């Protein structure tokens, strides 16, 4: 089932009737030749086979509707119900899960953003810890980039019922990775909690990012308070498109996610919102002229002072 909320500037949002009728995408959109991105929302569980089936369905539908790149959320492979289960289900990049997605990308000739893969760490045999890895696969089935989440979600909010310590089983990534050239533009990679650190998004923008992506599994409490405002802030300060695939609903008895997979333009306007109840997707044209125009009309980066200026307070 697909349920998404239409905002004023979105050109096309998937819905169940649209998928049933399977109309050509260009007949429902403008005549623009801008590439199309699909931002997906799902409800992962510990059942890896069921999760793959759900993701495959989303990718196939996105391809049918004209998408050239599909964005899947953090934990697209699974969300475990305990530390032990999470670790036991993890794999290497050479394992079955990524192999199936490379085959899917090759078969459908579509790019994939796999937003948060439970990757066994380089010292897995001795320390039993994993990376939270964002994997980009091209339309030939090649792995083009792997970004390992650098900011880990260690948060205790007793009054909101949130208690997670990602670092108890996850290794922080060693570095950022350069934006990836894709059919929709240069994509800068983050994952979930990375969204709260503007230094990351600004660094990616300085290195050429035109699109930022934050695949996530936000808690209900933090999502309701901060999700949209953070995504819009990252778009406004970098003057990039921001695409944020999301987990939604109840994964198991211990965990639920906020949903509201979003597409935001460089002005900070929300173009599409998948809501907070069910799986779905939003399809949008990525018109990079909007990035250029926004940066030309308000040249924020040109107005920045040098690094020493912003560090001057630290020296007094």
Q: Please give the positions annotated as active site.
A: 74, 149, 192
Strands, sheet with 185-189, edge to edge from the N-terminal-most edge strand: 5-6, 270-273, 262-264, 241-244, 211-213, 185-189, 180-182
CA dihedral 149, 151, 153, 155 (to 10 degrees): 180
Alpha helices in the chain (DSSP H): 16-21, 48-64, 83-88, 96-108, 124-127, 198-206, 220-222, 228-238, 288-297, 300-303, 307-310
Inter-axis angle of helices 198-206 and 228-238, nearest 10: 30
Q: Are 80 and 73 in contact (CB under 8 A)?
A: no
Q: Are 180 and 158 in contact (CB under 8 A)?
A: no
CA dist 315 and 190 (Å) reads 31
């Amino acid at each position: 089932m697909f349920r998404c909320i239409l905002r004023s500037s979105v050109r096309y949002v998937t819905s169940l009737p649209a998928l049933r009728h399977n109309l050509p995408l260009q007949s429902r959109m403008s005549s623009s030749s801008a590439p199309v991105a699909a931002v997906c929302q799902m409800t992962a569980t510990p059942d890896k086979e069921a999760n793959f089936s759900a993701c495959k369905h989303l990718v196939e539908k996105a391809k049918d509707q004209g998408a050239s790149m599909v964005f899947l959320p953090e934990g697209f492979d699974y969300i475990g119900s305990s530390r032990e289960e999470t670790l036991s289900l993890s794999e290497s990049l050479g394992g079955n899960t990524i192999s199936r997605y490379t085959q899917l990308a090759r078969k459908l000739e579509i790019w994939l953003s796999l937003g948060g893969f439970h990757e066994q760490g380089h010292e897995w045999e001795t320390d039993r810890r994993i990376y939270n890895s964002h994997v980009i696969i091209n339309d030939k089935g090649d792995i083009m980039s792997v970004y390992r989440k650098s900011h880990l979600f260690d948060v205790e909010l007793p009054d909101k019922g949130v208690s997670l310590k990602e670092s108890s089983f996850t290794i922080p990534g060693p570095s950022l990775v350069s934006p990836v050239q894709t059919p929709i533009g240069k994509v800068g990679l983050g994952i979930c909690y990375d969204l709260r650190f503007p230094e990351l998004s600004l660094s990616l923008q300085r290195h050429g990012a035109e699109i930022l992506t934050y695949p996530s599994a936000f808690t209900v409490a933090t999502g309701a308070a901060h999700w949209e405002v953070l995504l819009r802030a990252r778009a406004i300060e970098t003057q990039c498109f921001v695409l944020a695939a999301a987990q939604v609903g109840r994964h198991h008895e211990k965990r639920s996610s906020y949903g509201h997979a979003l597409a935001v333009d460089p002005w900070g306007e929300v173009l599409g919102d998948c809501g907070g109840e069910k799986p779905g997707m939003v399809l949008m044209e990525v018109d990079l002229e909007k990035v250029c125009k926004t940066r030309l009309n308000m040249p924020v980066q040109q107005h920045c002072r040098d690094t020493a200026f912003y560090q001057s307070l630290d020296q007094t």
